C-alpha cells in the first residue's frame, strides 16, 4: 500500500474536495480508534484499486470517494457506511470483485457497494432505460439497507460540487436527474441539509442565468432583511422571556431554489416572493412549542389558514414543527417555525440523526421506520411495468405535499395532494383497493374519483368478487394505487386471454365437428412443440391475444382423416355460416372492446376483428374502417349479441339546428328527459346561423337511441339529427335505426 499511502498524502483537501486528513480528523471525534483505522485501510485499498485513474478535472480519482465519505462523516454515520462510500466505485470501475471487498471489509460493506453500482455491463435500448434500471436497482437495494441511498446521495452531492470539467450537456442531464429524483429522495428521508445542497447545485447547473438573477436580487435585499428581522426578534424575545419561555430565535436563511419553486407555483414575479421573511424558534419541549405559538400570535396577528401543526401530525419523513405566517410590520408576511432541539436535529439530518449500528438494527428510530415503511412497497411498485414506468411511479410518490385524512377508526393516512378515494383504498391495503365499489366521505356517498381534502373521514365499501376498473389508472395519483391496478389487470388480462382463446379454439374446431376435450394428448403435445409453447394454457393465451389464429391451430389439431384438403381460404369469416357465433355484451372483459370509430350498440349488425395483443374489437358492419380491415379476412370472426344485462354503451349523435340563445340547454334538457346520460358535447356554429352539436351519450341499446333521436327531432329549431361515426376516421353518417 506504499503507492496508496503516498497518493492519499498528496490530497490536500479543499472545501469542495476534502482530503483523507480531513476525513480521519472528523471520524475520530465520534468513532473508536479501531474503526478509524478501518476507514484508513479502506482509503488505501481504494487508492490502490483506482491507481492511474483520474477525474476529468485531472485530480486522482480516489479524491472523489474520499470526499463522499467526508459528507457522510458530517452526519456521524458508522464505519461500514464510510468504507462503502470510499469503495463505491471499485466494483464498477476496477477489476476488484465483490467477494474481495466482502473478505476484507465484511458482507455489509460489499452489499452497500453493490447496491450503488450502476448496471453498465448490461446493454439497454436507451440511455434513459439504463438510468431507470440503475435507479430501480438502487432503490430495491435500499429496502435491504438504507445506507445504500446515503452513499448514493453523498456521491451525487460531491459530483455536483465538481461539475466544472464535465461537458455542458452531461451537466444539464445530471442536474435534471438530481432535481427530479435525488433531492426529493433526500427530502423524503429527512436529510434536509443534503436536500438543500442538491437543489441549489442542481438549480445553478440546470438554469445558470435564472440562478444568477435570483441570487443578485436576494443579495440586494439581504441588508434590509437583517434590519427587518432584527426588529421582529427585538419584539419576540422579550415577549417569550416574559412568559417564562427560554428560546433561541434564529433567522431562517432563504434558499434560491425554494424561491424559484414558489415563483413557478404561484406564477408570481420575483418582487412578490423575496419579501417573505423567515424565523425559527427553538425551545426545550413539545409543550413549550404550543405555549410559544400563543405568545407569537399575541405579538403579531396570524394569517388565516396558514397555521400547520406538523408536531401532532408529522410529515411522512418524520419532520415535526409548528408553522405559522404572521402579519409583520407594514403587513409584510413573516414565516415562523417553532420546534424542539430534537425536532431541529431530525429536520436537519433525518434518518441519520438517530442512526443505529447494524447490531442494533431492531431498535431503529421512528424516522428509520417511516423510511422503511415507504421503501417496503417499492417491491410492489416494480411490478407495474418496465424500469421507466417504475421511475415515474417513484417520482409521483416522492413529493411531500400531503393531504391528511382519517379512517373510520380515527387513524391518520397521509396522501399526496390530489389523491382520490381509490388512492385512499389502496393506501389502506391492496386488497381493499382491488375490491372497492363505493365510498362514504364524511358519511356521505361519493364517487370513487372524488379528490380528498384535509381532515375528511373516508369509509371504503368493498364487495366480494369486485375488481379494479381499468379507467381508475386515469385519475389515481399514488404509485401504490397505479401499481396495484396495473398488476391486477395484467394478471386478469392473462386469465381472460386463456378463457377467450379456449372459446375461439373450441369454436374453430366445432366447424369440423371436433370437440376440444377430444383432442389426443399426443396430438396436442406435438402441436405445442411445433409452436415452441410449453402448455395448453399458453397456447390459449396466444390465441386470445390474437398472436395465433384459432382456425390454423384447429387444423393442426385435427385427426389425419379429418384434415381438410384443397386451397380454400382459411379464416373465421370463410366458415361463418357453419360456426356458432361468439356471443358478446356482458360476459366479456379486457379482451373484448367496442370500437370508438363506430360505437356499436346491441341490435346493430356487427363484425369482430382479432387485433394482435389487444384481443377482439367489435365494429358495426357499416363502419367505414371495415373496408380497410377486410384485407385480412383471417382476423375476422362471427359474433352476435347476447343480453347486455343492463350495461351502458357509448354512442354519438349530431344535431343541426337554428342557432339561438339557450339552444344547447334546450337540446340537452330534451335528451335528459329520455333518462339518457350526456357524457360530452361539442358545440359549433358558423355564419349561416346554423349550429352543430355533437353529443356523446350512454345508452342501453338501439331502441333507447331511437327514442332520443325522435325526441330531439320533434323540437322546432332542429333541422337534422343523425347517428354518427365518431373520431378522426369519420367518413360518413349512418341514418338512425
* pLDDT score of 421: 93
Report the range of poorest mean pLDDT among 53-62, 376-385, 643-652, 692-701: 376-385
Chain region(s) in the chain for CATH 3.30.460.10: 209-351
Higher-confidence position of 137 and 547: 547
Q: How confident is the model at residue 507 (pLDDT cuts 50, 70, 90)?
A: confident
Helix (H, G, I), strand (E, B) or coil at 170: helix
Specify the fold of 401-477: Ubiquitin-like (UB roll) (3.10.20)
Helix (H, G, I), strand (E, B) or coil at 139: helix
- Of 236, 274, 241, nearest to 258 by C-alpha is 274
Residues 6+ apart with CB under 8 A from 103: none
- Is 431 a catalytic site residue? no
* pLDDT score of 729: 40
Q: Do the Cβ atoms of 596 and 606 come closer than 8 Å?
A: no
Backbone angles phi, psi at 592, to 5 degrees: -125, 115
Average pLDDT score over residue span 538-565: 71
* pLDDT score of 339: 93
Whether the pLDDT of residue 83 is over 90: the answer is yes
Put simply, whether the predicted model's pTM sits higher than 0.75 gets the answer no
- Of 260, 252, 254, nearest to 232 by C-alpha is 252
Higher-confidence position of 493 and 484: 484
Query: What cell numbers appear for 392 in the block?
Result: 415515474
- Is 108 a catalytic site residue? no
Estimate to the nearest angstrom the gap between the alpha carbon of 100 and the chain centroid: 38
- Distance between CA 542 and CA 533 in Å, rounded? 10
Residues 6+ apart with CB under 8 A from 213: 270
Higher-confidence position of 712 and 522: 712
Specify the fold of 209-351: Beta Polymerase; domain 2 (3.30.460)
- Go through 645-673 and write b for each residue having 16 or more CB atoms within 10 A of its CB, e for each that does not: eeeebbbbbbbebebeeebbebbeebbee
Q: Do the Cβ atoms of 161 and 201 come closer than 8 Å?
A: yes
Q: With the CA atoms of 617, 620, 625 and 628 taken in that order, what torsion angle do they form, in degrees rounded to the nearest 10?
A: 80
* pLDDT score of 736: 38
- Distance between CA 391 and CA 129 in Å, rounded? 10
Chain region(s) in the chain for CATH 1.10.3210.10: 2-194
Query: What cell numbers appear for 490 in the block?
Result: 395484467
* pLDDT score of 103: 92
Whether the pLDDT of residue 11 is over 80: the answer is no
Whether the pLDDT of residue 280 is over 60: the answer is yes
Whether the pLDDT of residue 333 is over 50: the answer is yes
Q: Do the Cβ atoms of 279 and 249 come closer than 8 Å?
A: yes
The count of C-alpha atoms lying within 13 angstroms of the C-alpha of 130, restricted to the half-sphere facing its C-beta, is: 11
* pLDDT score of 646: 66
Q: Which tens digit of pLDDT belongs to each residue from 127-146?
A: 555 556 656 665 665 656 77
Cα–Cα separations (whole angstroms), residue 171 to 56, 156, 185, 254, 270: 13, 12, 20, 25, 26
Whether the pLDDT of residue 728 is over 90: the answer is no
Whether the pLDDT of residue 93 is over 90: the answer is no
Per the document, the length of the chain is: 737
Whether the pLDDT of residue 38 is over 90: the answer is yes
Q: How confident is the model at residue 568 (pLDDT cuts 50, 70, 90)?
A: very low
- Distance between CA 84 and CA 104 in Å, rounded? 12
- Distance between CA 655 and CA 672 in Å, rounded? 15
Q: Which of 59, 74, 92, 309 is catalytic?
A: 92
Query: What cell numbers appear for 36 in the block?
Result: 478509524
Strands in 341-464 per DSSP E: 402-406, 412-416, 436-441, 444-446, 458-462
Q: Which tens digit of pLDDT belongs to each residue from 385-402?
A: 555 555 555 555 554 456
- Residue 600, Cβ neighbours under 10 Å: how many? 28
Q: Do the Cβ atoms of 281 and 296 come closer than 8 Å?
A: yes
Cβ burial of 468 (10 Å; 0-12, 13-18, 19+) is: buried
Query: What cell numbers appear for 115 in the block?
Result: 447496491
- Residue 534, Cβ neighbours under 10 Å: how many? 10
- Residue 567, Cβ neighbours under 10 Å: how many? 5
* pLDDT score of 570: 35
Report the range of poorest mean pLDDT among 70-79, 301-310, 424-433, 547-556: 547-556
Q: Which tens digit of pLDDT belongs to each residue from 610-622?
A: 766 566 788 888 7
Average pLDDT score over residue span 257-280: 74
* pLDDT score of 41: 92
* pLDDT score of 164: 83
**Which letter does DSSP use for residue 602 in this model?**
T
Most confident of 10-19, 92-101, 229-238, 274-283: 92-101
Chain region(s) in the chain for CATH 3.10.20.30: 401-477
Architecture of domain 649-723: 2-Layer Sandwich (3.30)
Q: Which tens digit of pLDDT belongs to each residue from 336-373?
A: 999 998 888 777 666 555 443 333 444 345 555 555 55
**Which letter does DSSP use for residue 166 in this model?**
S
- Distance between CA 599 and CA 596 in Å, rounded? 5
* 277-283 vs 333-340, strand pairing mode: parallel
* pLDDT score of 514: 80
- Of 111, 4, 142, 135, nearest to 66 by C-alpha is 4
Average pLDDT score over residue span 185-205: 85
Q: Which residue has the cell 447490531?
A: 359
Query: What cell numbers appear for 203 in the block?
Result: 438549480
Chain region(s) in the chain for CATH 3.30.70.260: 649-723
Q: Which tens digit of pLDDT belongs to each residue from 664-713?
A: 888 998 998 898 888 888 888 766 678 889 998 988 888 899 999 999 99
Q: Which of 37, 78, 89, 93 is catalytic?
A: 93
Higher-confidence position of 574 and 381: 381
Tell me the CATH class for 2-194: mainly alpha
Mean pLDDT, the chain, integer: 77
Average pLDDT score over residue span 537-551: 76
Residues 6+ apart with CB under 8 A from 170: none
Cβ burial of 482 (10 Å; 0-12, 13-18, 19+) is: buried
- Distance between CA 254 and CA 222 in Å, rounded? 10
Helix (H, G, I), strand (E, B) or coil at 248: strand
Cβ burial of 677 (10 Å; 0-12, 13-18, 19+) is: exposed
Whether the pLDDT of residue 195 is over 50: the answer is yes
Amino acid at each position: 500500500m506504499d503507492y496508496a499511502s503516498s497518493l492519499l498524502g498528496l490530497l490536500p483537501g479543499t472545501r469542495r474536495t476534502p482530503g483523507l486528513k480531513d476525513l480521519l480528523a472528523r471520524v475520530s471525534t465520534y468513532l473508536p480508534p479501531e474503526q478509524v483505522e478501518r476507514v484508513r485501510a479502506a482509503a488505501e485499498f481504494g487508492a490502490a484499486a483506482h491507481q492511474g485513474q483520474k477525474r476529468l478535472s485531472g485530480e486522482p480519482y480516489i479524491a472523489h470517494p474520499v470526499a463522499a465519505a467526508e459528507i457522510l462523516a458530517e452526519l456521524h454515520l458508522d464505519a461500514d457506511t464510510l468504507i462503502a462510500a470510499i469503495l463505491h466505485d471499485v466494483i464498477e470501475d476496477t477489476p476488484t470483485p465483490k467477494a474481495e471487498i466482502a473478505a476484507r471489509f465484511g458482507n455489509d460493506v460489499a452489499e452497500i457497494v453493490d447496491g450503488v453500482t450502476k448496471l453498465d455491463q448490461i446493454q439497454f435500448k436507451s440511455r434513459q432505460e439504463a438510468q431507470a434500471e440503475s435507479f430501480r436497482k438502487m432503490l430495491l437495494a435500499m429496502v435491504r439497507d438504507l445506507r445504500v441511498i446515503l452513499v448514493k446521495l453523498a456521491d451525487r452531492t460531491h459530483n455536483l460540487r465538481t461539475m466544472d470539467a464535465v461537458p455542458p450537456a452531461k451537466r444539464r442531464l445530471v442536474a435534471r436527474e438530481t432535481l427530479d429524483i435525488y433531492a426529493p429522495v433526500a427530502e423524503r428521508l429527512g436529510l434536509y441539509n443534503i436536500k438543500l445542497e442538491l437543489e441549489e447545485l442542481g438549480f445553478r447547473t440546470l438554469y445558470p442565468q435564472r440562478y444568477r438573477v435570483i441570487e443578485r436580487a436576494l443579495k440586494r435585499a439581504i441588508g434590509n432583511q437583517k434590519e427587518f428581522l432584527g426588529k421582529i426578534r427585538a419584539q419576540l424575545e422579550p415577549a417569550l422571556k416574559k412568559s417564562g419561555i427560554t428560546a433561541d430565535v434564529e433567522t431562517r436563511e432563504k434558499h434560491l431554489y425554494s424561491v424559484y419553486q414558489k415563483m413557478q407555483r404561484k406564477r408570481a414575479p420575483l418582487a412578490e416572493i423575496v419579501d417573505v421573511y423567515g424565523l425559527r424558534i427553538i425551545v426545550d419541549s413539545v409543550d413549550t412549542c404550543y405555549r410559544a405559538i400563543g405568545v407569537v400570535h399575541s405579538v403579531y396577528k396570524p394569517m388565516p389558514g396558514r397555521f400547520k401543526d406538523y408536531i401532532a401530525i408529522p410529515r411522512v419523513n418524520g419532520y415535526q414543527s409548528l408553522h405559522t405566517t404572521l402579519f409583520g410590520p407594514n403587513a409584510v408576511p413573516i414565516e415562523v417555525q417553532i420546534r424542539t432541539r430534537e425536532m431541529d436535529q431530525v429536520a436537519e439530518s433525518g434518518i441519520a440523526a438517530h442512526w443505529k449500528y447494524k447490531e442494533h438494527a431492531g431498535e431503529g428510530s421512528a424516522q428509520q421506520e417511516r423510511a422503511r415503511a415507504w421503501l417496503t412497497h417499492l417491491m410492489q411498485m416494480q411490478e407495474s411495468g418496465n424500469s421507466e414506468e417504475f421511475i415515474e411511479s417513484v417520482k409521483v410518490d416522492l413529493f411531500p405535499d400531503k393531504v391528511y385524512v382519517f379512517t373510520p377508526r380515527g387513524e391518520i393516512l397521509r396522501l399526496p395532494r390530489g389523491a382520490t378515494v381509490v388512492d385512499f383504498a389502496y393506501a389502506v391495503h391492496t386488497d381493499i383497493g382491488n375490491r372497492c365499489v363505493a365510498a362514504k366521505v364524511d358519511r356521505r356517498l361519493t364517487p370513487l374519483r372524488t379528490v380528498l381534502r384535509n381532515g375528511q373521514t373516508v369509509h371504503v365499501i368493498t364487495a366480494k368478487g369486485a375488481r379494479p376498473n381499468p379507467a381508475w389508472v386515469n385519475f389515481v395519483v399514488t404509485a401504490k394505487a397505479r401499481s396495484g391496478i396495473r398488476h391486477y389487470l395484467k394478471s386478469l388480462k392473462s386469465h381472460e386471454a386463456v378463457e377467450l382463446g379456449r372459446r375461439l379454439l373450441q369454436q374453430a374446431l366445432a366447424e369440423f365437428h371436433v370437440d376440444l376435450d377430444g383432442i389426443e394428448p399426443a396430438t396436442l403435445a406435438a402441436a405445442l412443440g411445433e409452436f415452441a409453447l410449453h402448455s395448453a394454457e399458453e397456447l390459449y393465451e396466444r390465441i386470445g391475444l390474437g398472436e395465433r389464429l384459432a382456425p390454423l391451430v384447429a387444423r393442426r389439431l385435427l385427426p389425419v382423416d379429418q384434415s381438410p384438403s384443397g386451397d380454400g381460404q382459411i379464416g373465421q369469416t370463410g366458415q361463418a355460416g357453419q360456426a356458432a357465433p361468439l356471443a358478446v355484451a356482458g360476459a366479456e372483459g379486457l379482451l373484448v372492446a367496442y370500437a370508438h370509430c363506430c360505437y356499436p350498440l346491441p341490435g346493430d349488425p356487427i363484425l369482430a376483428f382479432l387485433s394482435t395483443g389487444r384481443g377482439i374489437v367489435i365494429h358495426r358492419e357499416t363502419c367505414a374502417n371495415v373496408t380497410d380491415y377486410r384485407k385480412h379476412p383471417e382476423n375476422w370472426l362471427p359474433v352476435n349479441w347476447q343480453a347486455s344485462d343492463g350495461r351502458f354503451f357509448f354512442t354519438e349523435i349530431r344535431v343541426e339546428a337554428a342557432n339561438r340563445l339557450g339552444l344547447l340547454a334546450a337540446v340537452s334538457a330534451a335528451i335528459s328527459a329520455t333518462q339518457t346520460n350526456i357524457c360530452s358535447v361539442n358545440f359549433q356554429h358558423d355564419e349561416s346561423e346554423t349550429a352543430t352539436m355533437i353529443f356523446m351519450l350512454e345508452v342501453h341499446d338501439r331502441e333507447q337511441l331511437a327514442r332520443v333521436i325522435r325526441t330531439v327531432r320533434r323540437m322546432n329549431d332542429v333541422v337534422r339529427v343523425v347517428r354518427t361515426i365518431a373520431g378522426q376516421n369519420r367518413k360518413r353518417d349512418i341514418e338512425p335505426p
